[in-house]
Every structure is written in C-alpha cells, then in structure tokens.
Structure 1
Amino acid sequence: MVDLNMQDVSWATIMMLAFQSIGVVCGDIGTSPLYVLSGVFPHGVEDIDDILGVLSLIIYSLIAILLIKYVFVVLSANDNGDGGTFALYSLICRYAKVSLIPNEQVEDKEVSNYHLDESNGHGGLAFKVKSLLEKSHYAKQLLLFIAILGTSMVIGDGILTPCVSVLSAVEGLKEVGTNFISDKVIMWLSVLILILLFQVQRFGTDKMSNTFSPILTIWFLFIALIGFYNFVSYDPTVIKALNPWHIIQYFQRRKKHAWISLGGVALCLTGAEAFFADLGHFNVRSIRISTCSLVFPSIILAYIGQGSYLRKHPMHAHKAFFASVPKPLFWPMLIVAILAAIIASQSLISAIFSIIKQAMALGCFPRVKLVHTSPKHDGQVYVPEINALLMLACVGVTIGFKNSFSLAEAYGIAVLFVFTLTSALLVLVMIMIWKTNLLLVLMYVLTIWASELVFLSSLLLKFPNGGYFSLLFATIFVIMMYIWNYGYRKNYIFQLQNKVSAQQVKDIASNPKIKRLPGVALFYTELVQGISPIFTHYVSNVPALHSILVLVSIKTLPISKVPQKERFLFNRLEPYDLSIFRCVVRYGYNDARKERESFEEMLVDHLKEFVKDDFRSVGRSISGRVTSPVDKNEAVSNNEEEVKREVEFLDQQLQEGGVIYLLGENQVICSKGSGFVKRFVIDHCYQWMRRCVRQPDEVFLVPRSRLLKVGMIYEV
C-alpha cells in the first residue's frame, strides 16, 4: 500500500488518486445543481435581473468557500494526511495542553508522526494564545464542545443529504409527464433506493469505488457540456454575473428577500465539508488537481447554463435542472443523475463512519462495533449500529417531507454550522501553529468566516419549516457524546488521583504471602500514568500473581496513525527479579486494531526486544564505570547471560502457563452529596450507555476463554 502522506508520491499515483477522489470526495457538491436554483426560486423568477445576482452569489461563494477555504487552506491543516473536525481538534491538542483527559507522556513527542514544533518563543501572539488555552478550563471545555458539535452536525447533515440528493434526482421522472408519476410514487421509489443504499454499506467503499469515479466523471462532463450548450443557446449575456456588482444590486433591489434567498444559495456549498472529512483516503495534491481541473469548472458551467436557460424561461425555476436538459439527453441524464445522487450519499455516509471512529478513539463516543472493510485503508470502516440509525432516520425524513422542495427548507443548517465551527478551529491553527500574519487572519475572518455567518443567519429562518430536524439530530448526538466523555473523564481522573505507587507494587509482589503462578498475565487498565487502584483490589481478593506481569494500557495519541514499530512503550519495575513490566500500547485515532492472535504475538515480541535492549543498556552503563578491560569484557559477558536467561524464562512461562488476561472493569457512581444533575448523568445516563455498548473485552480484543474480569466501584 502506498503511503499517501509521503511527499515523494509519484505523479502517476497522484493522478490515479485524483481520478478516484472524484467518486468519493466530490459527489455531494457535484449533485448540488440538481436543487439549488429551484430552492432559491421555488415560485419562479419575479425579476429577470435577480438571476444575475443569484448566479454571481453562487459563483463567488464557490470561489471563496469551496476553492479558497477548503481546497487551498483547510486541506493544508490536515493531521498527517487526515481531515475532519476531530483531526483539527487533535492537532490543537498536540500543540497545546488542552485535552481534558490528563494522559500526556513525555515519550509521546518521540513518535515520528508527532511533528511538534515548539519554537513559539516566549512572546508573540502564538505563545499568548497557547498559554490562554492551557490556563483556562473553560477554553478547554469550549474546544471540546466545538469538536463534538462539529461532528454531530456532520451526522445531522448525513441524514438529510441522502434524502435531498435522491429525491431531487428521482423527481426528474416528473418531466415524463404521465399521471402515474406522482409525488407519492417518487417518495416511495426514493425510500426504496435509500434502503438499498444503506444495505450495501457493509461491503465497504473499497469494493464499490471502481464504479464511483467513472460514473461521476460522466456526470461532471454531462453537466459541463449541457451548461455550455445552454449558455450559448439561450442568453450568453448571463456571463455578466462574473461582475460581483450584481450582488450589491440584487440586495438593493430585493432587500430582505435577497437575504432570505441566501439560504437557497448556501445549498451550492453542501458537500464542501467532505473535501476535508474524506482526505484520509487520498492526499492534498490529488484533491486539488481533481477539483481545479474538472469538478469546479463543471459546476460553474452547470450553474451558468441553468441561469442562461432561466433568463428565457423564468417560470421553470422550480424545475431548473431537468427543464434545462435538452430533450434527446433527458433519459441518459436522468439515469446518471440518480446514480450520481446515490454515490454522493454513499461518500458522506462513509465520512460519518470515519469521524465516529475518530471520536470513539478520543473518548468522545460510546463504544460501537467497527468493521474494517478494506485491507488497504485503515480509515475505511463500517459501523452497523450507526448505519441502521441513519437508514431509519433517512426513511422517516423522506416519508415526512415527501419532496425535495419541502426538504430544502430543512437542508443546509447543519452544513453551515460545520463551516463556521471549522473556521473557528482553523483560525486557532493559523495563529498558534502556522503563526500566520495577523492581517491575513483578519482578512479570513472578515471575508470567508463572516460570509458563512451571514449564510447561517439566513438558514436559521428555516428553523420552523423543518430546519429543526438536522439540529434535533445533532443535539441528540451532542448530548450522547458529551455524557459519554464526561463519564469517561470522571472515571480516568478518579484512577489518576488514586493510583498505586511503584513502591506499593514492589511491596505487594515481594510479599511472601503472594504466590507466583506460571504464565504471563496481561493486566488491562485504562490508566496510562501510574498503576490503577484496581490492581490492589485484585491482589487483596486473589493473593496470587503470575510469574511475569505486564500492566497494559491502551492509549490513543492525538495523531492519525502511530508507526507499527513505535506502537509499544515498555518500562519495568525494579528489582528485575520481580518480572513486572508496564506497557502502554499507543494507537492513532485512525489506526486499526489487530486481531487477538497477532496483537498478542506482537506484544510478546516487543517485550522480548525490550528485555534485550534494557539489559544491554544496563550492561553498557556498568562496563562504562569499570576501568579494567578484563572487567569490562566480563561485565558485558555476564550481561549477555542475563539477557539469555531472561528470554528463556519468558519463553518457559509462555509454554507452561500461556498468556492470561486480567481485565480491570469498574463501575462509576456518584459520591454522596452529589447534585441531582450529576447523579442523573452518571448513575443513569452514563451507566445505561455502558451497558448498551460494546464491552471492554471486545474493544481490547481479549479472548474470553483466557479472561478474568476484576470489578471495582468508583465513587466520583
């Protein structure tokens, strides 16, 4: 598999990725010409010059937000090649200590993918912003809330996007003109397509991607050629829309109505967020090439062609796309439109699966089942529970709204929230990490970010007409994610505050009343810094330890991937004859967990390597203090014997007792005197979620035949 993050990727590979990105990244924004102008002019065009104003708004919105913001700025804020709201959040957490879970270790910065530049100095805006974030608990809470809200809004958008895309495409059947094609028929046909769409998710995008790009390439060529044909055939003077002065005239002429129409104009930008969210499957250069060479020009031509057609047929605005298609091309265009709408929906659903995986790895989403659908791309996952939830929501929304015009009233709010939240995190990246000139930051804030806020203000008017649907779904996910993260943090902080010291572990292991059993025991705990109090709870009830004890913690670093050779971080407790080791297993938020057998084998292999390196480093230290060459040789020889004996002892224990898994499992309850809200959240909501989701042994891939669970209650 080619490392897409490498700088020396061949041009042949880049061009191949650029072609493939058309099918995965660009489908959503590519199908927006199906419904944008009909959303702006649902009842026809009252003033023909309004078309120039709206068209100019569309063109410059695409230039500013799609091209400048996402393609050329946001894609540069990737986290080792991965994108999305949590990628930005993890990038900020890496440069400033703003994570609410205190599990940072000095050794984390030694991971080759960490890429941490700490040359901030002790003055300047970057250092001041970093200090402010690190000192303010409220700022840390706000950053986490923005990351959770942005992820939840993408999920809310993912519920409406398949509905509006499929409905808009299927509504082309109305142009057939038969009485059989009613709104009800279109609704049920769309429901059937949506159900089939969610059923094929289990096969993964990798198996279907070969058909995506050719179909969407045909789609983009079709809309570009038809747009150019309409531009030449109807009213070429529509090219005047390239003059932004028509936007000012439009607002002067239409005033409040112009502001309200921004909600429809904003629909031309839906799907821009996928350029960043799906970045992990490609690379920055490939997406920029595909966007600038095909996607952006095709979309612009499509809108210009529709605008030219409407200048001659203003009352066809409610069906602008299919009405402007030349009659001989109607059926081919309808078929391609339906396929393109399905593919566009598929790409956003896959992006939702990926960001849920990121959120779950960072402790912000309940444990759900992850199915890796591609042996080549770790980021391609399928989440059965979320897929079922999205399918039910999409079917319900389609039946409830029945047509794309009604659905357009609800569409777009979640997308613009994602835009504005991404801009908020991006400004922090510009100031704190890139150290961008303050004038350029202000230009971004006063132009692009301000434009997004204006679009959002217009879309919020649709709240009573259905806009609350996407916000309702997003609110449900925000509450769920925040409750899970709150309980997870309380659990971790309790363990950190009550951790067992290394001296206590030595005293326990050295106690002659504690029996040592044959075998290697892997004692799993969530605590990274120190040893969990559940260890002493176990020993007090079971006065026995295995001959070799490895205290294992699974940790997710704020980076997308951790190189395999840097996965395991070992140290050991002295004296050496206790054979007690500490192991932190480090993953990135996009790393795939290995199968049980391969994980166990890798851990044992790395333990042997650690033992060899540890003894040799001690041996070098001893021999360095000995002046006699004979004594030095003897020290080195003795050390090699110690290495050999230790490895043989490890192999013997593996043969005699095998590997046993001890899993610390705790229940978090509120302490006496806690308030009603805290008791409701912890004792009811969080505990209910823990019972409903995957259990730790499934997450840690622990074989149940060799598992012993150790339970303990924490009062927080």
Structure 2
Amino acid sequence: MEDPHPHRSSCSALSIPDLAEGDGGSLPSGSDGRLSSINSSIRLFSEGEPIPMLKRAVPRIDSLDAEAMTIAALPNPATKERAFMHAVHMTFRTIGLVYSDMGTSPLYVYSSTFNKFDVDNDGFLDILGALSIIIYTFTLIPFLKYVLVVLHAKGTEEQLKGGSFSLYSLICQYAKVGLIPNRQQADDELSNFKILVPTQRLERALSLKERLERHTGFKTALLIMALLGVSLVICNGILTPSISVTSAVSGLTVAVPALPEGGVVGIAVALLLVLFGLQGFGTGKISGIYGPVMFLWFASLAAIGIYNIFKYDSSVFRAFNPAFIYIFFKRNGRKAWHAMGGLALCITGGEIMLADFGELSARSIQIAFSVVVYPCLLLSYIGQAAYLLDNPQMTNNVFYSSVPGVLLWPLILLATSAAMLASRSIILTAFSVVKMAVALDCFPRVKIIHTSKRVMGQVYIPVANGFLMIMCVIVTACIRSVYQIGHAYCTAVLGDMLVTTGFFTIIMVMIWQTSRVVAFGFVVVIGAVELLYFTAILLDVQYGGWIPLISSFFLVIVMYVWHYGTRMKYQSEVDQRISIDYMLELGSNLGTIRVPGIGLLYNELVRGVPAIFGYFMKSLPAIHSTIVFVCIKFVPVPVVPQSERFLFRRVCPRNYHLFRCVVRYGYKDVHKENHYIFEQLLLQSLETFVQKDAQEFALECNSVGVESDGSETDLSAPPEFYLNQAGSKDPLTVPLLESDTMQCLETLIDQSVESSFSDVPSGAPSSAALDEDAVMELEAIRDAKASGVAYLLGHAEVRAKKESCFIKKLVINYFYAFLSRNSRATSEDMSVPHTHLIEVGMTYMV
C-alpha cells in the first residue's frame, strides 16, 4: 500500500531519504499516527537540496519526575560532602572553644610537679612514673569518663550542657527535689520535659526517686552540691586566666634571662586587664580564629613532642607500663602524694567538655578529643619527659626549655594567644552557669547581655566580669608562683569533677537505668581516682588550695541565702493568697470601679489570686477592666518551645475578666523581649484562649446532647491550654529580641491568628459560631487593649517574724535584704516601661 504521506520525518537523527531507503520507502508500522502530528512543522526541501539533521528536543522535567528521582535511601554525594565539611568546621570550633583550656596544660604540668621534688641519680624512675600517671589519668578522666560515658548518653545531650547545674536540673525534671513548690502538672507535659521513665522491673530507680523526694535533707544536699559546682566554676574563671597567662608569659625568662619576676607578673596583669576589658564585645568577630589558632597550637605541641622523643630518649615509651606508677609511689612515699597536685593539672579543662557553647554537639566534642586533642597532648607530655630524662636538672620551666631555640619566640607568642583563648572560654563558661543559676532563683538578679543573636548560650554579665577581673588580678599579683596557683586551680577543678561524678551516679541509676555493674564500676574507678587526687591536693592546702575553698564557701553562702529568702517569700505569698470565695463575694466589679484597660499584674504564684492584688484594690481608686496575673517561671529544662511558652486559665467566672498566664522559660532561654512585642503576643494568646475555651465548651455540650444558650458558666478551673502564638515548630525557638522590627511583629501576629485556628479540634465551631458571651468577651478584651496596657508590680520587702530565731532574723533581715537592695530591679529585669508602670509596696513576714 502506497504511503499517503510521502514527506514525513522521524525525531531521530536520520534524514528522510535514509528512512525511505532503509525499508523500501515505507515507514515502520504504527509510525503514521505518531508522525502525522508533526508533519506540518517540517520544512520541505526540493530534490537535490541538502537536508539538515533534525535535533532532539531538550527533555523537560516536571514535578512528578523530580519527585520520582528523590529517594530517601539514595546516597547523595553533595549531601555527604556538605555533612563532612560541616563536621570538620564544628571540630575546628570545638578545638578552639572547648579544648583551649586543656591545651595549655603542658605549659605548667611538669614544672608544678617537680617544683619541690628533687630528682636524684635514679631520677629516670620518677620521670617515667610521673609520665605513666599522666598517661593513665588523662585516659581515665577526660577520655573514659567524658568522651566514652557521659557524652554517649542518648536523649539527654542538651540537658547535659552546662555542667553540674544542668545535671541538677535534669534530676529535678525527673524527681520533685526542688525546694520551691511551684511545679505544675502541666510542666510534666512539656515536650522537653519528657525523659526516660523507670519501669516496674527497675525498682531501684523508683526507690531512689522516692527517697530523694521524701526527705528534705536529700533535697537540700542536692541543692548545695549544685551551688558548690557553680561556685567552683566561678573560681575556675578566676584561676584559669591567672595560671594560663602567667605560664605563657614565663617563657620570656628563658628567652630573656635578665627579665625579673616582677616584669613577668606585670606583663601578665596587663594582658589580663585587656582580656577582661574585651569581654563585653562578645565573640562574634573573633570566633573564627579560635579553631585555627588552637589547631596550630596542638600541632606545634605534637611536633615538638616528636622532636624531643627522637632527639633525647625514645625509651620514654616504657612509661606505658603501669608498673612505673607503683615504683613511683614506693620510691617516694609521702613525697609522691605531694607531687600528685602538679600531675592533676593534666586533666584541667576536662570539666569544660560539659559547658554550654551553643551549637557545639556531643559528637564534635568526641571527634575533636579523639582525633586531635588526645594524641597531641600525649605526644607533648611524652616529649617533655624525654627531655627530662636527658636533662633531669631542668625542672624549673620544662616546656620552654625543651623547645628548639629557633622556635622559642614564635612559641611564646602562640602560647600567649592560646592562653588568652583558654581564659576567654572559661570566662564564658562562668557567665553561662551564673545565667542558669539566676534563672532558677539560685543567684541574685544581675544584668545579662546576650552578645550573639545566632548562638543562644553566649552571654556577658558585667557584674560577674568585674568580680572575676578584680580577683584574677589580685591572685596573679599577690601569689605570683605558678606552683601555688596550680594547686588552687587543681582544687577547684577536682572539686567540680567530684560534684559532677556524684550527679552522674544518680542520673545513671535513676534516669538512664544502667546496670548495677556499670554504675558501681563508674563510681569505683572514676570517683576513686578523682577522690585520690583531691585528698592529695588537700595535703598542700596551704600552698594555694585555700583560695578556691574560701571563695567557693563564700559564693555558696551567698547563693543559698538568696535561694532561701526567695523560697520563704514564695511560701509567704502562697499562705497569703486571696480566696476565690472572697473574690466571688466582691462581685464582678471587685468592690471597686472597673475602668477600660488591661492590667498585667506580675507575681510569683502559679495558682490562686496573689495578695498583692488586694493591695492594689485598696491603694488604687479604680482597677482595669481586664486583669491578667502574669507569672514568669523558669522550669528545669534547657529550652521551652515557643508553642508551649504561654499557659492560660481563668481565675473567676467569665464576667470577672480575670485570667492567669504562666510564661515558662528554660534556664537557657533568651528572656529579652521588647515589652511591646511581649504584650502583643500575650494578648493575642489571651484572645486565642477565650476562643478555644468557648469552642471546647460547645463541644462538651454537643457531646452530651445539650445545646449551648450562651448563658454564664462558672469556669473557675477549666483545663489548661497551650497556645502557639508564633506558629513555630522549632523546639529551639526563643523569644524575640529588642532588635526585631515591627514588621516581624506583624508577621508573628498574623501567623498566630492562623495557627490558633489551625489547632482547633475537628468538628469545633468556627469563631462565627461562638456564643454571645464569648463574642462580647473578645470585644471587651480588644476594647481594653485599645485603651492601653499597664504593668502592676509589687515592691516587696521580706522580714522575719518576731518569734523567729536569731539566725533566721540575721539571714532574712540583713543578708537577704542586702542582696535584694543591690540586685537588679524586677521592672528592669522584665523590660517594663516606666511610663506604664504602677508599683505598690508591701511586706512579707516569713
């Protein structure tokens, strides 16, 4: 059959004549329909004219193709490369922030150990014994305890950041061991509050939990342990800059032998003043140099160590035999115990592995230690020991004496830079723990400045910075001896490690539910080694160890007095609450005149009507038409999700327009909102609460076949609601900072309106179907909002009752009163504008 379409082409690269010749001038079967649709678009050429090759159209990929090519299990090289580069970047940051303190230990370990330890003719046994102790101590404490045990905990990584105080907060999450009774059942439903619950098979976990909750003595002991841990970290903030900078600058005595000791101390003090003076500028602009500088420092330590090993005595590796530890103690007896104070300096900085540095993860801390820190520091210690085997008399400044002459000046500059970075890291850690203590009412209120909008954990506290600077300069200028400062430093570090070990033992048994063998082995091995070092240091307490003991005792007293006074004040507020019956007797006008406006009455109570409200009703001629009792409460979790920030409930029947709002923050949350943004979010959440209240009431009526007629209902104790005022799904979302613009506020408010209705249960009536009372209440709230918002605060004074004992009067009337007068005012701490502020004075008798 003759082809009815002689001029046709295919979409292949063949020309039309080739197709015709290939099969007797006919096209393959079935091609007629496919080609006829494009026949009209083909240009015809006369016979003999060259026919151009047809090009294939570029394939188009639609959404279905893109989705089909996206397979979850399919390896993506680009993603792997990005993940690898991110891991490398985080490892560099970890080296600079976490391990800068530990990295400066080789500057002073051997010098402090052999300061009063004469090396005799058989001194190689003492040197190998000291090195063997360093090797196994460095392996047991930082590597085994922190890297392999603590940082391998699943599900509690964020809670562990922050040191001993975070561990105390983790215990408070699981067991009700807090001394301030403001914990609510709703707090246990926070997403970040969920932890491992013990099963019936693990009765020992339940038994320990019940025992801690039952006895007030155990609760007090746990609190004092946490306060001791905080105070020791603050002492580290004093001693670390002193010993690190002084040891780094001491290299000048090797380069310039004529330089007197006073010159070294003067240079160290000048550098310390510069260091503390720069704290207020934050770390944003210089954080990029932390990693490279410290990596170069660790590489230099390893290189010099290898050089010393091959140049002086490669037999130093015999120290890996633990028998030399036994020989060391047998040869030297009591003198060996005195040397333990200097050897313990090899693990200083290990406690910072649990510090809160924001985005650093446990995995990056483990990788950085295992790959870089551990091998480099071991090579440095081994290299210095090899140098001492060949030069046993050079024990005064071992590190700089073992450095080749051509590298001495570059190493002095690099060591000084590393010491400054190490000091900055421990100072930031001290600021972090003080912030946590303030959040949980264990430290007087102080001004806290957040120096980074990207990293939540970086803060600056001017009062703490001034205190640390003064104490650090005094210690450096008065003591001068690296040996004595090292003993003081070891006392603080090992005390903090013992506190951490005690908390971890409780966590392992009660929360992680580890086996008895593992928990017992952890206490016996790790706890025994730390206790051994601590008792050895106490033998030389007169050589500087008294500094952190006295300082920490003073700080613990201050923090406990503040916590005790706060606890007594809260208990007095609870006892003086206004009863609901009395409020109902007063009627909806509360026995006074209600004027348009919203009053935000700040108080500490999480339930009930605070007594300060009665003072306002007596002192003011009128009261606002809508009153919200606002309680800002810090719960023992690191971060409270923004969607669970506000907790509302009604205090009296609907026509009273009285509400309670508990605003919950974690101890790492940024509580620095602009007051206007905060009140807008709070009031938007209040409107959402009223809507949900009416909708759920309608659902309850519908479920039992009752038709809601909009009559007044006593909702004095409705269920509590969580409100998502920003529509955020990120559990690490924090409140807005003051620098946020009004455009951001409008976006948040718009999102909150949408999210509030998206959370309504299926089948609930829309806002248009709200009962008449709910609509009127919403209109009243909006009218009151338009009239203005006032902040009602009570200026409270706490006094001990006349029948109280002398010690209680002394603590409350003098010590706590002094701290209250000199702490940051409540209005300043909450960023309350003075133009909208109303204060009423009252006295609590405790």
Q: TM-score, normalised on structure 1?
A: 0.95
Distance 1:635-1:186 versus aligned 2 partners, 3 A rule: closer
Mapped to 2, the partners of 1:422 and 1:633 lie a distance apart of: 51
Distance 1:316-1:512 versus aligned 2 partners, 3 A rule: closer
3-state DSSP of counterpart to 1:412 = helix
1:667 correspondence with 2:741: no
Match of 2:474 in 1: 396
Distance apart, 1:644 and its partner CA: 4.3
3-state DSSP of counterpart to 1:369 = coil
- The structure whose Rg is larger is 2
Mapped to 2, the partners of 1:146 and 1:601 lie a distance apart of: 41
Distance 1:637-1:704 versus aligned 2 partners, 3 A rule: closer
User: Which residues of 2 match residues 45-194 of structure 1 at below 5 A?
Assistant: 45-46=119-120, 47-75=123-151, 76=153, 78-80=157-159, 82-121=161-200, 124-179=203-258, 181-194=259-272
Which of 203, 209, 213 matches 2:287? 209
1:698 correspondence with 2:776: no
Amino acid at match of 1:361: A
Q: Residue 623 of structure 1 contacts residue 636 of structure 1 at CA under 8 Å; is this kept in 2?
A: no
Distance apart, 1:399 and its partner CA: 0.7
Any idea what the Cα deviations from partners look like across 1:311-356, whole Å, max 9, x if unmatched?
A: 1011112211001111121111111000000100000000000000
Mapped to 1, the partners of 2:83 and 2:775 lie a distance apart of: 46
Distance apart, 1:573 and its partner CA: 2.8
Structure with greater helix percent: 1
1:337 correspondence with 2:411: no
Amino acid at match of 1:140: K
Distance apart, 1:248 and its partner CA: 1.1
Which of 280, 300, 304 matches 2:378? 300
Match of 2:629 in 1: 551
Distance 1:630-1:650 versus aligned 2 partners, 3 A rule: closer
Gaps of 5+ in 2: 1-81, 711-762
Mapped to 1, the partners of 2:242 and 2:764 lie a distance apart of: 76
Amino acid at match of 1:569: L
Distance apart, 1:536 and its partner CA: 1.8
Any idea what the Cα deviations from partners look like across 1:158-183, whole Å, max 9, x if unmatched?
A: 1111000000000000112342x110
Mapped to 2, the partners of 1:602 and 1:617 lie a distance apart of: 22
Q: Residue 373 of structure 1 contacts residue 382 of structure 1 at CA under 8 Å; is this kept in 2?
A: yes
Q: Residue 198 of structure 1 contacts residue 391 of structure 1 at CA under 8 Å; is this kept in 2?
A: yes
Q: Residue 608 of structure 2 contacts residue 651 of structure 2 at CA under 8 Å; is this kept in 1?
A: no
Distance apart, 1:580 and its partner CA: 1.0
1:488 correspondence with 2:563: no
Any idea what the Cα deviations from partners look like across 1:5-64, whole Å, max 9, x if unmatched?
A: xxxx95543432221111111011110000001111115533211111111111111111
Q: Residue 157 of structure 1 contacts residue 412 of structure 1 at CA under 8 Å; is this kept in 2?
A: no
Number of paired residues?
706
Q: Residue 515 of structure 1 contacts residue 544 of structure 1 at CA under 8 Å; is this kept in 2?
A: yes
Match of 1:361 in 2: 439
Q: Residue 521 of structure 1 contacts residue 550 of structure 1 at CA under 8 Å; is this kept in 2?
A: yes
Q: Residue 619 of structure 1 contacts residue 635 of structure 1 at CA under 8 Å; is this kept in 2?
A: no
Distance apart, 1:302 and its partner CA: 0.5
Distance apart, 1:122 and its partner CA: 7.8
Larger relative contact order, structure 1 or 2 (CA cutoff 8 Å, min sep 6): 1
Q: Residue 166 of structure 1 contacts residue 190 of structure 1 at CA under 8 Å; is this kept in 2?
A: yes
Mapped to 2, the partners of 1:313 and 1:509 lie a distance apart of: 91
Identity %: 40
Mapped to 2, the partners of 1:234 and 1:638 lie a distance apart of: 89
3-state DSSP of counterpart to 1:510 = coil
Q: Residue 372 of structure 1 contacts residue 381 of structure 1 at CA under 8 Å; is this kept in 2?
A: yes
Q: Residue 197 of structure 2 contacts residue 511 of structure 2 at CA under 8 Å; is this kept in 1?
A: no
Any idea what the Cα deviations from partners look like across 1:502-521, whole Å, max 9, x if unmatched?
A: 33334335257321111111
Q: Residue 698 of structure 2 contacts residue 708 of structure 2 at CA under 8 Å; is this kept in 1?
A: no
Distance 1:201-1:579 versus aligned 2 partners, 3 A rule: same
3-state DSSP of counterpart to 2:397 = helix
Distance 1:627-1:715 versus aligned 2 partners, 3 A rule: closer
3-state DSSP of counterpart to 2:649 = strand
Distance 1:629-1:39 versus aligned 2 partners, 3 A rule: closer
Which of 338, 346, 350 matches 2:424? 346
Q: Residue 164 of structure 1 contacts residue 407 of structure 1 at CA under 8 Å; is this kept in 2?
A: yes
Mapped to 2, the partners of 1:418 and 1:452 lie a distance apart of: 10
3-state DSSP of counterpart to 1:694 = coil
Mapped to 2, the partners of 1:701 and 1:72 lie a distance apart of: 44
1:689 correspondence with 2:767: no
Q: Residue 132 of structure 2 contacts residue 325 of structure 2 at CA under 8 Å; is this kept in 1?
A: yes
Distance apart, 1:425 and its partner CA: 0.6
User: Which residues of 2 match residues 409-558 of structure 1 at below 5 A?
Assistant: 409-511=487-589, 513-542=591-620, 544-558=622-636
RMSD value, Cα: 2.1
Mapped to 2, the partners of 1:464 and 1:337 lie a distance apart of: 29
Match of 1:42 in 2: 115
User: Which residues of 2 match residues 519-668 of structure 1 at below 5 A?
Assistant: 519-542=597-620, 544-593=622-671, 594-626=673-705, 638-639=769-770, 642-656=773-787, 658-668=788-798
Match of 2:8 in 1: none
Mapped to 2, the partners of 1:336 and 1:674 lie a distance apart of: 60
Distance 1:210-1:512 versus aligned 2 partners, 3 A rule: closer
Q: Residue 129 of structure 1 contacts residue 432 of structure 1 at CA under 8 Å; is this kept in 2?
A: yes
Distance apart, 1:406 and its partner CA: 3.7
Mapped to 2, the partners of 1:546 and 1:12 lie a distance apart of: 58
Mapped to 2, the partners of 1:283 and 1:580 lie a distance apart of: 44
Q: Residue 81 of structure 1 contacts residue 279 of structure 1 at CA under 8 Å; is this kept in 2?
A: no
Distance 1:583-1:634 versus aligned 2 partners, 3 A rule: closer
Distance apart, 1:78 and its partner CA: 4.0
